[in-house]
Amino acid sequence: MGEAARMTLGGDKAAMAVYAMVYGFAWLGQSSYILVLGKCLQGILFHIELCLPIATALSCLLCLPIAVSVRHLSDSVLLCFINLFLILAVLTIVMAKMYYVGRPAQVNTFAFAQQMSFGSVFGAASNVVYSYAGHWLYFELMAEMERPEQFPRVFLINVPIQVSLYLLVACWGYHFAGDKAEGYFLDNLPDGPAYRWASALLFLHVAIAFLVKNVVLARALHQKLAPSRVDVDLREPQLQHRSSLAFHLWTPSADCVAV
């Protein structure tokens, strides 16, 4: 998107400003994934009662192996396909459990939420906008496609599924939980096997989503720090020679030669 800004808005300043906003937004968005991973780990180990900071730190350690194992978005196609079925399994477990338990007698539903404020409306609207805010990743995806002109198919397939799932979950959750609904969907379940399984599957789902965006951020950072090494695999035999040469010859002016 930075290069698109360079071509449409003109100049390096526009490109750098857009790069900073896009990757800054993505970096901040990763923090929300990490928080959800921590909540998921709390749900898996609900009998231990982990605090969120410790659960979040443990989640980061668990995700570290996959975070450094995938170098290109094209390597995550199968994971993304599996990810769809993971979230469908999570929603099925939660919604089935809510249906089995039934709607409590003290639950109330309203056409308009009571005691609305600017903050509550703005916060809810922000969540809706954030749910559809993956457009910054589109150019990154198209850049690795063999036939980028086929990318519009994403909207024909993904958007109806995404909108339908959001509406179904929102209506289902509000019907059974009403004004007692929790913001974190899984918190509407009581402690038990269903809560643990849903948390475990959601952990895997969010970890894959985190991985996909982490690939883009890590690659962007790698291109800034060592652009000539961004496509070098650690398993390549010539890397040892390159690293050795870089160790002996490194100076600010000789770095490119060493690599």
Q: What is the 3-state secondary structure (H, E, C) of the chain?
A: CHHHHHHHHHCHHHHHHHHHHHHHHHHHHHHHHHHHHHHHHHHHCCCCCCCHHHHHHHHHHHHHHHHCCCCCHHHHHHHHHHHHHHHHHHHHHHHHHHHHHCCCCCCCCCCCCCCCCHHHHHHHHHHHHHHCCHHHHHHHHHHCCCCHHHCCHHHHHHHHHHHHHHHHHHHHHHHHHHHHCCCCHHHHCCCCHHHHHHHHHHHHHHHHHHHHHHHHHHHHHHHHHCHHHCCCCCCCCHHHHHHHHHHHHCCCCCHHHHC
Average pLDDT, the chain: 81
Q: Is the pLDDT reported for residue 33 higher than 60?
A: yes
Lowest average pLDDT, out of 77-86, 105-114, 240-249, goes to 240-249
What does the pLDDT average to over 222-247? 60
What does the pLDDT average to over 157-179? 87
pLDDT band at 138 (very low <50, low <70, confident <90, very high): confident
- Sketch the domain layout of the chain as residue ranges: 2-225, 226-259
